[in-house]
Amino acid sequence: MSVESPAASALIEIAKATVIAIALSVGINAFVLQVVDVRQSSMETTLEEGDRLVLSKVDYRFQSPHRGDIIVFRPPPPACAAESTNCVPFVKRVIAIAGDRIDLRDGKVYLNDVALNERYARSPTAPEGDSVRYPYVVPADAVFVLGDNRPVSGDSRSWGAVPMPNILGKAYVDFWPLQHAKWLVP
């Protein structure tokens, strides 16, 4: 019969606790919450490059995105080559959901023929490129997204709607740097 020393018992307990902590951390990061960095200026002044967000990965498993949600997603082609594995996730605001009709005219966004009051938008909104024709109806299982800093934002104006499988989650909190900390729920 072997008797463990108190030091060996303590090391075993520390090792067990470390393994459990790592497993919980990996599980939470993979399935529940994730911290993401804002790497573009397309959401200024709501979010700035370098901000850090807490992203919920479970919301859209139980419900669809809502207009006004700030989401993180894998950009669809042509924003990111289909075969690329190192595309930086984009952060944008959901403007329209499946079945909604979007029109861009006179520097404004019209949702189902009603002009939106977008106090968060940095400047007038103009169509980008010719791949999206207006009025545009958002297809099933997709959302139409725009950045708040419209002049520099690559968004649905360029490539159309974002498919639901591309959405990584909903941003809830901007927590870093502390002077930018705020809730992001509309």
Active-site amino acid positions: 42, 92
Listed residue (73, 81, 88, 90) closest to 142, CA to CA: 73
Torsion (CA) 123, 37, 95, 132 in degrees, nearest 10 = 80
- Number of other residues whose CB lies within 10 A of the CB of residue 161: 24
What is the distance of C-alpha 169 from the center of its chain?
6
CA distance 122 to 151: 8
End-to-end, the C-alpha distance of the chain in Å comes to 64
Residue 52: beta bridge partners?
37, 176
CA distance 183 to 172: 6
Report the half-sphere exposure of 182 (CA within 13 A, side-chain side): 11
Q: Quick check: 75 and 92 in contact, CB under 8 A?
A: no
